[in-house]
Amino acid sequence: MATDHELHLRDRLTRLRSLNLLGGVRLSGELEKLQRQLDRIQTAPTDEEIWRSVELARHQDRPYTLDYVERLLDDWVELHGDRGRADDAALVVGLGKFNGRTIALLGNQKGRDIKERTHRNFGMAYPEGYRKAMRLMELADRHRFPLVSLVDIPGAYPGVAAEQHGQGGAIARAQALMSRLDVPTVACVIGEGGSGGAIATALADKVLMQENAIYTVISPEGCAAILWRDAAEAKKAAAAFKPDAVHCLELGVIDGIVPEPEGGAHTDPDQSAKLLGESLEEALEELESVPADDLKRRRRAKFRSLGVYA
Amino acid sequence: MATDHELHLRDRLTRLRSLNLLGGVRLSGELEKLQRQLDRIQTAPTDEEIWRSVELARHQDRPYTLDYVERLLDDWVELHGDRGRADDAALVVGLGKFNGRTIALLGNQKGRDIKERTHRNFGMAYPEGYRKAMRLMELADRHRFPLVSLVDIPGAYPGVAAEQHGQGGAIARAQALMSRLDVPTVACVIGEGGSGGAIATALADKVLMQENAIYTVISPEGCAAILWRDAAEAKKAAAAFKPDAVHCLELGVIDGIVPEPEGGAHTDPDQSAKLLGESLEEALEELESVPADDLKRRRRAKFRSLGVYA
Amino acid sequence: MSSRIDVSIEHRNVPEPPGKQHPNTCPECQSHYRDDELEAALWVCPHCGHHFPMRARARVASLVDQGTFVEEAAELRSEDPLQFFDLRPYTERLAEAEMKTGLGEAMVIGHASIEGTSCELAVMDFSFMGGSMGSVVGEKFSRACDSAAERGVPLVSVTASGGARMQEGILSLMQLPKTVCAVEDLHDAGQALISVMTHPTTAGVLASFASLGDVIVAEPGALVAFTGPRVVQQTTREKLPEDFGLAEQNLRFGHIDAIVPRPELKPYVSRLLRLFARNGD
Amino acid sequence: MSSRIDVSIEHRNVPEPPGKQHPNTCPECQSHYRDDELEAALWVCPHCGHHFPMRARARVASLVDQGTFVEEAAELRSEDPLQFFDLRPYTERLAEAEMKTGLGEAMVIGHASIEGTSCELAVMDFSFMGGSMGSVVGEKFSRACDSAAERGVPLVSVTASGGARMQEGILSLMQLPKTVCAVEDLHDAGQALISVMTHPTTAGVLASFASLGDVIVAEPGALVAFTGPRVVQQTTREKLPEDFGLAEQNLRFGHIDAIVPRPELKPYVSRLLRLFARNGD
Ligand SMILES: [Zn+2]
Ligand SMILES: [Zn+2]
């Protein structure tokens, strides 16, 4: 299986090498990075390992957005409010210095204890949260701050108010805004990248995943409940739709994998932050050399190329 | 007094003629138009006439936005909603054909009977209404439709929800958006142009007033209640702050006066619409020949030049 | 962790199964019709106005000037990138859907004219796997945007979708940003998207291109919600408002521009097409 | 027509007169202080934290690095374009305000550095005719934007305003679009506006530049409302929420980024200035 998976990756590498890269769709350095990823991955994820990722991605001690902010940014100023109705604590936004440059950062924020979890709605934003995120995106664009988005949301929130306040439209418009930004954008799934709630803030020039993060169109439980008519078959569902980072890389959905400490990000938050910081820096440096028009064109072309059909 | 007022206008004309028109602030044709206005006005408004304007501007039979839409536009499609929380009936927005071209039109809409007045909150928008207006402005900008704004609002609405939903910010942002539009914009006060509620949708390339409309920073009653400590002194207040069209033209606040039928707009809505249509057409034709960048620059320069100080 | 489970079932807002009721029986007033009666009435109940589901080809025929529709990208078919197997293989489900519907996928695209004005169309069909958005739906919509941009005409989309194409996993989610980027490219080319939402327009389709229409209209009674009432009720245990998630609620909350009954849709869209036709350039 | 009257009194959200209470007596806890005590405490009650009004020059001194403030446009004075006369002539009111405050108008502008970072400042003074925005306030703010753009530094505004300058009639309203356009020009020049709202920030100032800050902060307990509680209550006859219109409510409803107690304001603004300083270009 390991060999099999490695073959897949090598195969993709070969195809990338031979590809006529239309209109600069792929950023330079892609091949080298894929090679490095390949060298690093020793074994491909088995069904058991996929499930372990699901568990680690949801681990209650896993570092959240503000844990990384604290370790990676100087002069952090959190901003609040959608300038319309509310300040949604499930999604934090702000400005800070990252390796000397000002960046705009947004991220889902889960809670550590039951009170904070309720306050932050388990990281699941309301439409007001997406609108706050859009405000930060506009601020970033206006002042040419690169945008970093940390994604960690079980899924869009299924609530009465969320629907009444226009959740579908808010998620659509957040993506549309990201597709229009003239600044470099990097998204990283740091835990659960759940469905529309995740993609709302992940239409980025570079999309990364931490090694044990998952990225899904529906949670394993939700998928199992529908297709197997039994939410307990979640493990089976996960094995079937493969939400792990390696498979996402293989499908071209993400651009790179951010390593975690042995045993998962929660075992060593400082080291996790260091590794995340290195990947973000690498991505930003590469993007900062690209002209704004090209950035936007490449970003859209990348997402418009996703899908497999005949 | 008539002569006196005429002298004022002639004086302004003389000053305009001698002015070194910095950076194309004033649109060409301004002088000719002022001359025409001057020729048309036989008598300057007395205190009595100012108060008559106040009464006519508020006349219960005065044509409202939709009365003009019906008479001036083909293929009218009203659009609804702020894409967030509500559809505010106090402010209508839509698309239609005006003399063969598609325009975006927005306007305050008062009600005719008590039920409609309540439904439309007497034309006083909530923040949701300003956000709906902004959505139309963005639509106009995206598709290069000229924007026409008809202003008819007693004043911004003093309600609990209006404050909680961010009325101040909404009015500020509506203006900011108008200052950024790349399309020709014409605003016309067709009744009451009351305070922040009016200016929210009146930061236009050309600002017109109907002959008997009023444009005020505060209603006569409000001003009287504060300065004379008696709302009944409204007539005195109106005479003091001069909200009529001729004085607004004289102060450089508006660019032209739209004639009304003898006796006021309500006496002949068809003729009122015809006269309004002619003025709008003239303004749009002039603006349509100006490059987008110049439009925006001139628009901002015009508003930045308003005020009298030493 | 029960909340986690509930929370996640957000991509399957299929309307309640009609039980044993015949598809030609009106679920609102129980009137029963012959096929040709319903077809003649555009699948709107002549008695109570209930809007029955409408198939993609019938929808196209009801909107365009006769004989003007030219289909595009009809040959596209889904692959099975995950070799997905639940109780049955994805490939089998696809084959069955094609057999049942006569369509290669849940969306039909092409160009046409409506009351004499040219446009591009992208019409979904709920009968094909619940109108779920997989790679082919995303690609077809994306091509429809490009076709509209090239021809310099507006795009009219008619949506009907119950959720994600789970069998394509994360690639199904990626059709959201894909179609969003396609709309943005269409807008940059100066063209409009007119979005017509029919029952049901939910989940990923609502959270992407359908909500980006320059004008958005819905059919009466259509469910227009990211998460449908059943899942919301399971999660929140709240009593839901009577019209929760319906077009009527969406209009009241400011999310759509109008509710247009099916018989009025063609002239309404036609009027919009005239408005969005380029101003003489 | 009583509703019309109520509706219109929206530009005079002056806080309730303190009655005969001495200005150095805390309205919250009744503690009384000597001038030098209050000055040393930045006019924040050492006992309960109540923020007393702060004069413009004191505010500038509390924010900038000592000796770095250079005032601009101090010579501007209002004219009386309407020859406005209510119970007294406008010119008399202006002269009295200048005598009382030692200021030519309700706003002071200039450039300075804060913890070593350069910026432009535009600071209002409520003591000058209730901080009402007439032509000179608008012009000074407008010039502050240009000065910031020319120097390539952010602009920090500190607002305190009870309403419109009614005596300048419609020209007072025109200061809204004027200052809005100035902020947009500042933004086009790549510079930021940091908006600090102090008690009270209402009416035209709130409905124009103050709400356009890239970052907006308020002092604790500040009234931040287009229409103040008194007029809203008169109009709606509703019982108002406890903190209606206060900074705290504005934070909860998403209108401002933070509430910053006065002693923390300088380091907070300084941090923002470092963030908005151009990234190495
Ligand atoms: Zn029926
Ligand atoms: Zn105290």
The 3-class secondary structure across C199-221, one letter per residue, is: EEEEHHHHCCHHHHCCEEEECCC
Calculate mean pLDDT across residues B83-105: 97
User: D156, D63 in Cβ contact below 8 A?
Assistant: yes
More confident residue, D233 or C6: D233
ipTM, two decimals, is 0.92
- C254 and chain B in contact, CB less than 8 A: yes
Contact criterion met (CB < 8 Å) for D214 and A101:
no
What is the dotted CATH code of the domain comprising D54-280?
A: 3.90.226.10
pLDDT digits (tens, 9 = 90+) for B186-244: 999 999 999 999 999 999 999 999 999 999 999 999 899 888 988 889 999 999 999 99
Q: Could you tell me the distance, in angstroms and rounded to a whole number, from the CA of residue D149 to the centre of ligand 1? A: 65
Q: What is the DSSP string of B44-76?
A: ---HHHHHHHHHHHT-TTS--HHHHHHHH-EEE
Quick check: D11 pLDDT over 50? no
Query: Which residue out of D117, D216, D250, D253 would a mutagenesis test of the A interface target, given it has the greatest number of A Cβ atoms within 10 Å?
Result: D253
More confident residue, A7 or D102: D102
Which among A160, A162, A218 has CB closest to C166? A218
pLDDT digits (tens, 9 = 90+) for A200-238: 999 999 999 999 999 999 999 999 988 898 888 999 999
Contact criterion met (CB < 8 Å) for A84 and B131:
yes
Which among A79, A144, A145 has CB closest to D257? A79
C72 Cα distance to chain centroid = 18
Contact criterion met (CB < 8 Å) for C5 and A231:
yes
Quick check: C7 pLDDT over 50? no
What is the Cα–Cα distance from D221 to A49, expressed in whole angstroms? 54
Please write down the HEC assignment for all residues of A213-233.
Answer: CEEECCCHHHHHHHHHCCHHH
Sort out which chain A residues have CB atoms less than 8 A from D257's CB and list them: 77-81
Quick check: D230 pLDDT over 80? yes
Sort out which chain C residues have CB atoms less than 8 A from B86's CB and list them: 252-254
For residue A91, the distance in angstroms to the closest alpha carbon of chain B comes to: 18
For residue D186, the distance in angstroms to the closest alpha carbon of chain A comes to: 11
Contact criterion met (CB < 8 Å) for B306 and D177:
yes
> D118-127: buried (b, 16+ CB within 10 Å) or exposed (e) per residue?
bbbbbbbbbb
Tokens coding A7: 């073959």
Sort out which chain A residues have CB atoms less than 8 A from C180's CB and list them: 172, 175-176, 179, 203, 303
Quick check: D259 pLDDT over 80? yes
Residue of chain A whose alpha carbon sits nearest to that of C83: A240
- Surrounding residues of ion ligand 1, Cβ less than 5 A: C 26, 28-29, 31, 45, 47-48, 50
Query: What's the pLDDT score for residue C21?
Result: 80
Q: Do chains D and C touch (3 or more CB pairs under 8 A)?
A: no
Instruction: Name chain D's partners: 3 or more CB pairs within 8 A.
Output: A, B
Contact criterion met (CB < 8 Å) for D255 and A81:
yes
D29 Cα distance to chain centroid = 25
Quick check: D237 pLDDT over 90? no
Q: Do chains A and B touch (3 or more CB pairs under 8 A)?
A: yes
- A119 and chain D in contact, CB less than 8 A: no
Contact criterion met (CB < 8 Å) for B303 and D181:
yes
From the list A244, A237, A184, the residue with the least C-alpha distance to A46 is A244
Tokens coding B24: 């194309």
- Surrounding residues of ion ligand 2, Cβ less than 5 A: D 26, 28-29, 31, 45, 47-48, 50
Contact criterion met (CB < 8 Å) for B168 and D226:
yes
Determine which helix (DSSP H) or strand (DSSP E) holds A53, and give its type and residue range.
helix A47-57
Instruction: Name chain A's partners: 3 or more CB pairs within 8 A.
Output: B, C, D
Sort out which chain C residues have CB atoms less than 8 A from B83's CB and list them: 254-255
Query: What's the pLDDT score for residue B307?
Result: 93
Query: What's the pLDDT score for residue D118?
Result: 97
Which stretches of chain C are DSSP H helices? 2-8, 35-40, 56-63, 90-101, 135-151, 170-173, 175-188, 203-206, 229-236, 247-252, 262-276
Query: What's the pLDDT score for residue B304?
Result: 97
Quick check: B2 pLDDT over 60? no
What is the Cα–Cα distance from B230 to A232, expressed in whole angstroms? 74
Residues 6 or more apart whose Cβ sits within 8 Å of residue D13: D162, D163, D200, D202, D203, D223, D225, D227, D228, D230, D231
For residue A61, the distance in angstroms to the closest alpha carbon of chain D comes to: 29
> Domain limits of chain D?
23-52, 54-280
Quick check: D10 pLDDT over 50? no
Query: What's the pLDDT score for residue A22?
Result: 30
Ligand closest to the CA atom of residue C45 = 1
Calculate mean pLDDT across residues C111-125: 98
Q: What is the DSSP string of C36-58?
A: HHHHHTTTB-TTT--B----HHH
Ligand closest to the CA atom of residue C31 = 1
- D248 and chain A in contact, CB less than 8 A: no
**Mean of per-residue pLDDT scores for chain B:** 89
- A129 and chain C in contact, CB less than 8 A: no
B23 Cα distance to chain centroid = 25
Quick check: B301 pLDDT over 50? yes
End-to-end CA distance of chain D: 59
User: D59, D39 in Cβ contact below 8 A?
Assistant: no
Contact criterion met (CB < 8 Å) for D251 and A81:
yes
Calculate mean pLDDT across residues B274-280: 97
Residues 6 or more apart whose Cβ sits within 8 Å of residue A15: none
Sort out which chain C residues have CB atoms less than 8 A from B85's CB and list them: 253-254
Contact criterion met (CB < 8 Å) for B143 and C192:
yes
Q: Could you tell me the distance, in angstroms and rounded to a whole number, from the CA of residue D33 to the centre of ligand 2? A: 10
Residue identified by tokens 């009444």 is A164
B10 Cα distance to chain centroid = 24
User: C123 - beta bridge partners?
Assistant: C108, C158
What is the Cα–Cα distance from A136 to A138, expressed in whole angstroms? 5
What is the Cα–Cα distance from C210 to C245, expressed in whole angstroms? 15
Residue B66: how many CB atoms within 10 A of its CB?
17
Which stretches of D22-75 are DSSP H helices? 35-40, 56-63
Strand, helix or coil at B219?
A: coil
Sort out which chain B residues have CB atoms less than 8 A from A166's CB and list them: 83-85
- For chain A, list residues with pLDDT below 70: 1-44
Residue of chain A whose alpha carbon sits nearest to that of C216: A169
Sort out which chain C residues have CB atoms less than 8 A from A303's CB and list them: 174, 177-178, 180-181
Calculate mean pLDDT across residues C197-210: 98
- B304 and chain D in contact, CB less than 8 A: yes
Quick check: C279 pLDDT over 90? no
For residue A90, the distance in angstroms to the closest alpha carbon of chain C comes to: 15
pTM of the model: 0.92
pLDDT digits (tens, 9 = 90+) for B128-168: 999 999 999 999 999 999 999 999 999 999 999 999 999 99
For residue D234, the distance in angstroms to the closest alpha carbon of chain B comes to: 9
Strand, helix or coil at C59?
A: helix
Q: Are strands C107-114 and C70-72 parallel, antiparallel or unpaired?
A: antiparallel
Residue of chain B whose alpha carbon sits nearest to that of C270: B75
**Mean of per-residue pLDDT scores for chain C:** 91
B266 Cα distance to chain centroid = 18
Contact criterion met (CB < 8 Å) for A196 and C240:
no
Query: What's the pLDDT score for residue C6?
Result: 33
Query: What's the pLDDT score for residue B32?
Result: 61
What is the Cα–Cα distance from B300 to D180, expressed in whole angstroms? 9
Domains of chain A, first to last: 47-216+242-305 (3.90.226.10)
pLDDT digits (tens, 9 = 90+) for C224-243: 999 999 889 888 888 899 89
Contact criterion met (CB < 8 Å) for C279 and B101:
yes
Residues 6 or more apart whose Cβ sits within 8 Å of residue B171: B130, B156, B196, B197, B199, B200, D176, D207, D208, D211, D226
Name the band, by pLDDT with cuts 50, 70 and 90, for residue B270. very high
Residue of chain B whose alpha carbon sits nearest to that of C268: B77
Calculate mean pLDDT across residues B250-265: 93
Q: Could you tell me the distance, in angstroms and rounded to a whole number, from the CA of residue D44 to the centre of ligand 2? A: 8
Quick check: D143 pLDDT over 50? yes
Query: What's the pLDDT score for residue A11?
Result: 56
